[in-house]
Amino acid sequence: MQAAVAKPVPHALAGALLAGVLVLYSLVLTFTGLNTNRALGGVSLLLLAGGVAYFVWRQGTALGGGAAFGELFSYGFKATAVCTLVLIGFQWVFYTVFPEYREQLLDITREEMVRQGVPEAQMGSALASMRDYFWAMTIGGALFSTLLTGAVGSLIGAGLAKRR
């Protein structure tokens, strides 16, 4: 009996599936009040890297080991780009529909500054800048963190995939 061969998954579908998992995870953390837990926030990066690595490995398997390392890395990075765009869109919609969570982020930052002993004048200035540049920081942070994490996942997946 012949083993079943995995079918290739388009990078856009892989990225959309990963984004769906990450959006769902984010919503669960947010609505259960666990979104302030940094360790659980880091799990999303592990989910992304692991998911990208899985899809890249699966793509290499589906192609029967005939894909080069660069092709597999490219596939993973394209999937990551799709995932990143979906996540940025989700954040825009979420913080527009639920502005109270935007304020909650600022409150968490304020508490962290108090804990670190930041002077009141400096704290006020930093929070005002965060409020003014919220979208730039949110989108920039999502771009940087997801693209970097996805690149690592792509490297891992391409390294694990068998090649002829």
Q: How confident is the model at residue 1 (pLDDT cuts 50, 70, 90)?
A: very low
Q: Rounded mean pLDDT of the chain?
A: 89
- Whether residue 143 contacts residue 88, with contact meaning beta carbons closer than 8 Å, is answered with yes
pLDDT of 125 > 90? The answer is: no
Please list, in sequence order, all residues whose beta carbon lies within 8 angstroms of the beta carbon of residue 54, skipping any fewer than 6 positions away: 157
Residue 67, pLDDT score: 86
Q: What pLDDT is stored for residue 161 in this prediction?
A: 87
- pLDDT higher for 48 or 105? 48
C-alpha distance from residue 146 to each of 13, 88, 122 (Å): 17, 10, 30
What local confidence, expressed as pLDDT, does residue 2 receive?
47
Q: Which two tokens stand for residue 96?
A: 């527009």
The tens digit of pLDDT for each residue in 139-159 reads 999 999 999 999 999 999 999
- Domain ranges across the chain: 11-160
**What residues have CB less than 8 Å from 109, skipping those under 6 apart?**
126, 127, 130
CB contact set of 6 (below 8 Å; sequence gap of 6+)? 58, 61, 62
More reliable by pLDDT, 84 or 117: 84
107 pLDDT exceeds 70?
yes
